[in-house]
């Protein structure tokens, strides 16, 4: 029995070995073509035009993708800064109105109301300033910058205990700047 088992392995080994030899012969049989490569003068312009068209199409596709990416970044920046302006300015206006009410009523806690108003104005201005970038359209950037400057003027008027005329002028400027900035935000959306 063991002799037949060994013989089967030998036959299989010979068959595999023979197949390998045949495969090596087939792979080894290749021919090399002689001659020199020549460009077909009639086909060369067509090939060059094809390569140029392919490069141009690739360039246009790349530019379109970059344009889409920039548009997405701009849209995201607009939404972020405009939301920051909208929400934080409401808090600042509420704090300033509380201060104005105390000042108009000659309330003894008018100075206590001034601190939170100044803080809210500066917090809002800082938040909006952090969102102002070259990504934004120039008119929106300018409107937001004007609003930040106007809000800081109101904060200075409150903290400097400015006269009512100076405070009211700063407040009017701030209100106009906020309206203009929010209008630009709406247009940019």
Q: What is the pLDDT of residues 99-112, one digit of tens each?
A: 999 999 999 999 99
Residue 93's nearest CA partner among 183, 7, 5, 179 is 179
Average pLDDT over residues 8-37: 56
Q: Which helix (H) or strand (E) holds 182?
A: helix 164-188
Residue 117 C-alpha from the chain's centroid: 33
Q: Model pTM?
A: 0.65
Residue 186's nearest CA partner among 137, 145, 150, 151 is 137
Mean pLDDT of all residues in the chain?
84
pLDDT of residue 24: 54
Residue 119 has pLDDT above 80, yes or no: yes
pLDDT of residue 49: 77
d(CA 88, CA 71): 26
Q: What is the pLDDT of residues 38-58, one digit of tens each?
A: 767 777 777 777 777 788 877
d(CA 147, CA 140): 11
Q: What stretches of the chain adopt beta strand conformation (E)?
A: none
């Amino acid at each position: 029995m063991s002799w037949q088992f060994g013989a089967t392995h030998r036959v299989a080994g010979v068959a595999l070995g023979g197949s390998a030899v045949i495969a090596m012969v087939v792979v080894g049989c290749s021919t090399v073509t002689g001659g020199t490569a020549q460009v077909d003068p009639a086909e060369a312009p067509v090939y060059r035009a094809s390569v140029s068209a392919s490069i141009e199409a690739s360039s246009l596709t790349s530019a379109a993708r970059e344009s889409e990416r920039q548009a997405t970044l701009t849209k995201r920046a607009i939404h972020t800064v405009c939301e920051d302006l909208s929400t934080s300015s409401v808090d600042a206006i509420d704090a300033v109105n509380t201060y104005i009410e105390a000042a108009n009523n000659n309330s003894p806690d008018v100075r206590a109301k001034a601190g939170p108003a100044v803080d809210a104005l500066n917090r809002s201005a800082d938040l909006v300033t952090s969102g102002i970038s070259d990504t934004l359209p120039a008119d929106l950037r300018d409107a937001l910058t004007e609003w930040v400057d106007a809000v800081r003027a109101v904060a200075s008027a409150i903290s400097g205990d400015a006269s009512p005329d100076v405070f009211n002028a700063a407040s009017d400027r701030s209100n106009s700047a906020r309206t203009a900035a929010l209008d630009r935000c709406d247009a940019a959306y």
